[in-house]
């Protein structure tokens, strides 16, 4: 996976009692609709909980991270499709 680490804008659904679900994100002036969340995990960065999402737009695999303290999203990496 190629490391990117850039802030991005994400459309996500926050439902009571359920996990956060990203549904689209903007990167390089292009909107990517998320067709699948293939994996999710969390980790602590100091005292900050970071939520990680491995997502696909049907062609590429991306890793998105959500900083729960700052409430910001980042595109951590991309694995281009074949």
Given a cut of 90, whether residue 27 has pLDDT beyond it is yes
Given a cut of 90, whether residue 18 has pLDDT beyond it is no
Given a cut of 90, whether residue 16 has pLDDT beyond it is no
Q: Report domain extents, the chain.
A: 2-79
Q: How far apart are the C-alpha atoms of 51 and 72, rounded to whole Å? A: 11
Question: What are the DSSP E strand ranges found in 28-71?
Answer: 30-33, 36-45, 48-56, 61-67
Q: How far apart are the C-alpha atoms of 74 and 62, rounded to whole Å? A: 11
Given a cut of 90, whether residue 19 has pLDDT beyond it is no
Query: Given pLDDT bands bounded at 50, 70 and 90, which one contains residue 82?
Result: low
């Amino acid at each position: 996976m190629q490391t990117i680490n850039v802030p991005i804008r994400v459309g996500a659904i926050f439902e009571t009692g359920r996990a956060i679900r990203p549904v689209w994100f903007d990167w390089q002036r292009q909107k990517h609709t998320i067709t699948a969340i293939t994996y999710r995990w969390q980790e602590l960065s100091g005292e900050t909980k970071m939520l990680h999402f491995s997502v696909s737009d049907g062609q590429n695999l991306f890793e998105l991270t959500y900083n729960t303290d700052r409430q910001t999203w980042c595109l951590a990496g991309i694995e281009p499709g074949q």
